[in-house]
Structure 1
């Protein structure tokens, strides 16, 4: 049996839908106030409060679940600034970390659960159809400067991602305007628009040695809405290592907003 630990956003729902259609035996472990309630449509759902680590482990064992998938976002700042909401097990875990970067936390969570006898499986077989392909996804680029900015920005983003600072940078005229930090992608895009004005390029990548079991970059309608507010012109993402949600609606929305989207092989 598979246990899906679900954060926010559509990605956990996409996994649950795919697993349901494949008749997989799975149960969902959702976080109150974070996970989309629509996920209940696809399977038995256990709701926990943020930071109830011991309850999660106990429930997984009671249900006889050994294989785990962890998808969806739990905002980094929620963890860092909500320590008072964590149970004893979570506080002990957080205090033992060498640092509190996203990769450090997520890898430590996986190792902690492995020590309890659980196994994290690769969710890619259930989500492969969501991976961005190389080439134009939406719109067209008539301005070569935008493409040059994309290639420049993707290289910078790759280095930033490797340092585990963030996965997104905003560039314009080969100048780095904004780098994603703890605020997340959407706020980074908006800050890039405030600083760079119209015509910025948003670049989003995976880590150099991306573990596809966690923290894979995701783009969707929300990304486009932030870009529209920021008056960005191009979204450049890493092909083969970025999930695209609701593809057809995404393409229509991008074209409506006048935003070009391209997948680049890096």
Structure 2
């Protein structure tokens, strides 16, 4: 008798998509891994091209948790990822929580990034949807170690990076933000809900020029969501205030459009460097 191989249909993976290019990149990577994709797209955030690229899509407004859960159940989704950005200030003026979201919201004591995202992830997993690390198919997007630009750090800039690193780690521990802007070992701006680009512009204006931007992961950063991310827009923001340095934690953050980003940094005379923190707290900067 002839034997017939049973065709195994790849399991569908869910994508909870925000803004930016990450959702599209993830769809492409998931397809290369042989998986179909069901996308939850956020209105006013997600690029419509993401919906077009998906095998199925459900548009939601911020806070419609019940709709997300129902869509994933209908699509047979057992795993999902959070990819892309959500404008955090929208929680004050553009959110439409449903019953599931309100119930969850009332159980969260501290309304900050990690607490909110962990609570949403918990609700998904309670419904049988496992939340995976957002870099599962895109390890190549992790920020590399070392100097990426033609220009290297000066002695004084290295001191600013070391100083900024400790402060960035401290605000991360409090779940305030991931970025600080420093000059001459003085903190001129701390990232909060406004986001990295706004913090860079505010800090750069205060520093007047030569600002050093340090961006790190939060202590205990959950790789399933809210990884630090940089790209050409970060350089453009820094260049607009005549900033000097972008130092990012290597292997713990995302880097988009590397070639274009480095080219823009070189054109503006900005140093871009990926830094590693040793177990003893010392830094590997070069």
Q: C-alpha offsets along residues 182-206 of structure 1, whole Å, 9 cap, x if unaligned?
A: 1111110011012111000000000
1:184 aligns with 2:192: no
Greater gyration radius: 2
**What TM-score comes out, normalization by structure 1 length?**
0.95
Determine the structure 2 residue equivalent to 1:25: 36
Q: Is the 8 A contact 2:153 2:271 kept in 1?
A: no
Q: Is the 8 A contact 2:62 2:94 kept in 1?
A: no
CA RMSD of aligned residues (A): 1.4
Instruction: State the Cα distance separating 1:33 from its structure 2 match.
Output: 1.3
Alpha-carbon distance change, 41 to 82 in structure 1, aligned in 2, over 3 angstroms: closer
How far is the alpha carbon of 1:41 from its aligned partner?
4.8
Corresponding residue pairs, total: 265
CA distance in 2, matches of 1:110, 1:231: 40
Whole-angstrom distance in 2 between the partners of 1:19 and 1:225: 30
C-alpha distance in structure 2 between counterparts of 1:33 and 1:198, whole Å: 34
- Give the drift of 1:142: 5.3
Relative contact order (alpha carbons < 8 A, sep ≥ 6): 1 or 2 greater? 1
The corresponding residue for 2:8 is none
1:213-232 alignment to 2 at 5 Å?
A: 213-232=224-243
- Unaligned 5+ residue runs, structure 2? 1-11, 278-286
- Structure 2 residue aligned with 1:79: 91
Please give the alpha-carbon distance, in whole angstroms, between the structure 1 residues aligned to 2:28 and 2:147: 27
Relative to the length of structure 2, the TM-score reads 0.88
Distance in 1 (alpha carbons) for counterparts of 2:61 and 2:178: 28
Deviations 1:52-104 (A, max 9, x none): 21111111101111101111111221124334x22232222222211101111
Q: CA, structure 1 residues 96+197, in 2 after alignment: closer, same or farther (shift >3 Å)?
A: same
Please give the alpha-carbon distance, in whole angstroms, between the structure 2 residues aligned to 1:166 and 1:25.
34
Q: Name the CA distance, whole Å, in 2 between partners of 1:55 and 1:227.
A: 39
Where does 1:36-115 land on structure 2 (aligned, <5 Å)? 36-44=47-55, 45-83=57-95, 85-115=96-126
Q: Deviations over 1:87-140 (max 9, x none)?
A: 232222222211101111011111111111211122323110011111011231
Distance, in Å, in 2 between the alignment partners of 1:80 and 1:128 is 34
Partner of 1:5: 16
User: Mean alpha-carbon deviation: is it higher for 136-145 or for 64-73?
Assistant: 136-145
Higher helix share: 1
